[in-house]
């Protein structure tokens, strides 16, 4: 039986404690490394911009001691410039990004996707198999700094084999891994054990740090991501019936929950009632190391350079306190996984008009987000169920009560009965975040309750309570209520040729329109599928809800397949498009566009990434769950994507890495062979 004291620990709201691992006066940084987390070496190199992506440098392990690197750095001409001297310094002191890792031999990575046996359409089956064949290219083990532990690197050691997302994401990432597991478990074979490894690696992190960092890098140690570890444990146990991990997992899931209740709790008073919910809130006063230059420009530049080339003078110079708050908001936005979105921007018109730094007005520190609290509700219910399975009925009851309290608080603060939707709660205004600037494709549904030049915010985050079960029974168990809540999803599906965008506002931020994110599509589909047939399976509302889930599944299949096909993918019945070489084998992207079924996403702080872990996982989940109800994708009169002659093809704006950055990055899988 699990200790009841552990089960009850989160009932107390503990004082907020700083989570940064390095503090020195006004400097609060994620770790104490003067190369990878803070200090002049990091600042000077990142601002000199030797690489297109700030993350490239902080992912390069050292091949000299810290002392030797500091001496060599002190001998460089200051300020640093992106010149031969800097490049020689980097080559003499650092290995390629990702050099701490090695690939796993493919003969050790057998697959056994039994679910494909039921798929009758040969194109869908072959496409799914080719997606499964990507996993070995994304599978890694950690080898460290070549046996010399005195040479610093930014990778947090992991003890077991793991799967990366792809591209610049060279390490395990927290919330990505939930959807990766959906695919790995269905892939079977060696990947069943790798699924368990993934869970065990994250449990190691909780044991060591008290939480799961954003990713397995020391520069992520001051922040987490949406806490889905409890659901990974549940998913693994349900799929494999292997309960051997529970004795270790349950206390650590409780420990992780304590991190969120201790460090991310916010009190909101409304109509005389005090509600305690959770938020993203990272203690931080420095640029994020992996996005150092971008953050520094946001906080410190004296002029704003618009995408059209117009230069706007700074309206006001930020003082050091204001800069620190910008850096805290930037880190907190990254903790949300939605980095970045109009959901967090206090002045979204800065972004839509492209006239000022959009991320200077981030207000995530004063936002109570729907999805985080919906996930924590699910975790509380899951922990209760796990405790009950160990005959700890008292602990189970306590955690069920925690979940009930959270659901009630969310309904009181975040549910809008007029609009039949959940909205984030804004502590600054003391109200729900309902309205955003009206844009050129706002529909009547979005403007009917809004004032002139405004529209009602649409965000997939509003549907998390139906996915996690945090919505009260009279909503989630009533197909008519679910249908009403998802009405705008259906209208978008009617209007858009691609999937459902993260929000309905175009800002240039990646978690806004037009970007379609695989995990968000999964959340919509599952939220609908979980609706019970309360009034029977012939109930028209329930049938409509299930049909909408299938339509979303079909649209997701169409988007992933047609984009893969346009970039060189082929099956026995869909031969490769003309104009592509044998090296062009199709690409699975991190995100997609909402305006067509063969367009990758765009925007944000880095180029669109290929690979891609959660995209593959959601695809395999959808093919398994919807099975033969899915139809063969019809890509229409599609042509090959624009490619670079002589190189492995990728559509424009859909490259994995800047070409120069790639030369400083260790290659794995097919790229290692091509190199």
Report which of 9, 18, 373 is spatially closest to residue 221, judged by C-alpha positions: 18
Q: Which residues pair with 97 in a beta bridge?
A: 665
Distance CA 602, CA 537 (A): 40
CB 169 within 8 A of CB 193: no
Distance CA(621)–CA(185), nearest Å, equals: 10
Residues 256 and 193 sit within 8 Å (Cβ to Cβ): no
Catalytic residue among 137, 380, 590, 594: 590
Cα(292)–Cα(54) distance, rounded to whole angstroms? 6
For 476-480, the CB contacts below 8 A with 24+ separation are: 476/530, 476/531, 477/531, 477/532, 477/534, 478/534, 479/531, 479/532, 479/533, 479/534, 479/535, 479/539, 479/541, 479/542, 479/544, 479/545, 480/541
Residues in the chain: 675
285 with 418: CB under 8 angstroms? no
- Helical H runs in 141-189? 176-187
Catalytic residue status for 590: yes
- From 59, 258, 339, 558, the catalytic residue: 339
Is 203 within 8 Å of 132 (Cβ atoms)?
A: no
Please, which residues bridge with residue 155 across strands?
Answer: 217
∠ CA 377-430-432, nearest 5°, is 60
Cα-Cα-Cα-Cα torsion 249, 253, 254, 257, nearest 10 degrees, comes to 170
Closest to 603 in 3D by CA, of 497, 489, 516, 498: 516
Q: Is 339 a catalytic residue?
A: yes
Nearest to 143 by CA among 106, 105, 98: 98
**Active site residue ranges:** 339, 590
């Amino acid at each position: 039986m699990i200790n009841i004291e552990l089960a009850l620990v989160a009932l107390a709201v503990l004082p907020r404690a700083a989570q940064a691992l390095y503090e020195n006066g006004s400097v609060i940084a994620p770790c104490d490394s003067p190369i990878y987390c803070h200090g002049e070496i990091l600042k000077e190199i990142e601002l000199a911009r030797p690489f297109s992506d700030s993350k490239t440098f902080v992912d390069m392990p050292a091949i000299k001691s810290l002392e030797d690197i500091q001496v060599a750095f002190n001998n460089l001409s200051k300020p640093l410039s992106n010149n031969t001297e800097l490049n020689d310094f980097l080559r003499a002191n650092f290995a390629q990004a990702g050099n701490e890792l090695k690939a796993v031999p493919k003969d050790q990575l057998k697959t056994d996707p039994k679910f494909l046996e039921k798929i009758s359409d040969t194109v869908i089956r072959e496409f799914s198999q080719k997606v499964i064949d990507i996993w070995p290219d994304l599978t890694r083990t950690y080898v460290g700094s070549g046996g010399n532990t005195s040479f610093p690197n930014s990778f947090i050691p992991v003890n077991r084999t793991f799967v990366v997302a792809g591209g610049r994401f060279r390490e395990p990432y927290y919330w990505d891994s939930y959807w990766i597991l959906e695919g790995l478990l269905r892939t079977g074979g060696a990947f069943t054990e790798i699924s368990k490894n993934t869970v065990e690696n994250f449990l190691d992190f909780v044991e060591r740090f008290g939480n799961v960092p954003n990713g397995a890098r020391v520069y992520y140690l001051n922040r987490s991501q949406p806490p889905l570890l409890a659901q990974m444990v549940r998913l693994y146990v349900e799929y494999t019936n292997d309960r051997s991990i529970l004795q270790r997992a349950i206390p650590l899931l409780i420990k992780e929950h304590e991190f969120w209740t201790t460090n991310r709790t916010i009190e909101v008073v409304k109509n005389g009632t005090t509600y305690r919910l959770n938020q993203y809130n990272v203690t931080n006063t420095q640029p994020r190391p992996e996005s150092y230059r971008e953050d520094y420009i946001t906080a410190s530049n004296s002029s704003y350079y618009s995408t059209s080339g117009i230069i706007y003078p700074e309206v006001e110079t930020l003082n050091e306190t204001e800069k620190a708050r910008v850096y805290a908001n930037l880190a907190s936005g990254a903790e949300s996984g939605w980095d970045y979105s109009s959901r967090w921007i206090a002045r979204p018109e800065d972004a839509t008009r492209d006239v000022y730094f959009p991320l200077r007005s981030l207000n995530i520190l004063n936002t109570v987000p729907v999805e985080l609290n919906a996930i924590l509700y699910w975790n509380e219910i899951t922990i209760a169920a796990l405790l009950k399975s160990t005959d700890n009925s008292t602990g189970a009851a306590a955690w069920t009560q925690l979940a009930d309290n959270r659901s009630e608080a969310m309904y009181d603060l975040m549910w809008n009965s007029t609009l039949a939707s959940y909205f984030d709660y804004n502590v600054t205004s003391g109200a729900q975040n309902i309205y955003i600037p009206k844009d050129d494709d706002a529909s009547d549904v979005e403007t009917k309750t809004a004032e002139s030049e405004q529209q009602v915010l649409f965000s997939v985050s509003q549907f998390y309570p139906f996915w996690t079960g945090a919505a009260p029974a009279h909503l989630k168990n009533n197909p008519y209520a679910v249908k009403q809540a998802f009405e705008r999803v259906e209208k978008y599906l009617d209007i858009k040729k691609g999937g459902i965008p993260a929000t309905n506002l175009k800002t240039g931020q990646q978690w806004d329109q037009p970007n379609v994110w695989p995990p968000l599509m999964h959340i919509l589909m599952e939220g609908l599928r979980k609706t019970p047939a309360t009034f029977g399976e012939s109930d028209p509302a329930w049938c409509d809800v299930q049909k909408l889930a299938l339509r979303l599944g079909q649209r997701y299949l169409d988007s992933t397949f047609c984009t893969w096909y346009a970039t060189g993918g082929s099956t026995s019945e869909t031969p490769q498009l003309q104009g592509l070489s044998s090296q062009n084998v199709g690409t699975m992207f991190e995100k997609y566009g909402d305006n067509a079924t063969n367009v990758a996403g765009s925007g944000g702080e880095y180029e669109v990434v290929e690979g891609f872990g959660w995209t593959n996982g959601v695809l395999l989940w959808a093919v398994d769950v919807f099975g033969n109800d899915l139809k063969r994708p019809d890509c229409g009169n599609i042509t090959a994507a624009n490619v670079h002659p002589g190189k492995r093809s990728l559509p424009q704006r859909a490259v994995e890495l800047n070409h120069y950055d790639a030369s400083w990055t260790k290659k794995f899988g097919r790229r290692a062979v091509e190199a």
